[in-house]
Amino acid sequence: MENVLQDDETVYRGLTPDLDFTLSVDRSCYIAEVLIWPGDAGPNEVEIYVADYMDGWAFVKNYSCAKSGVTRLVVPGEHVAKYLRVRCLSNTRGGKIVAVRHIQIKGLELHE
pLDDT in tens, 56-91: 999 999 999 988 899 999 999 899 999 999 999 999
Q: Rounded to two decimals, what is the model's pTM? A: 0.87
Residue 5: per-residue pLDDT = 57
- Decide if 97 contacts 70 (C-beta within 8 A): no
3-state helix, strand, coil in the chain (%, to 5): 0, 60, 40
Indicate whether 8 pLDDT > 80. no
Q: What is the CATH number of domain 12-109?
A: 2.60.120.260
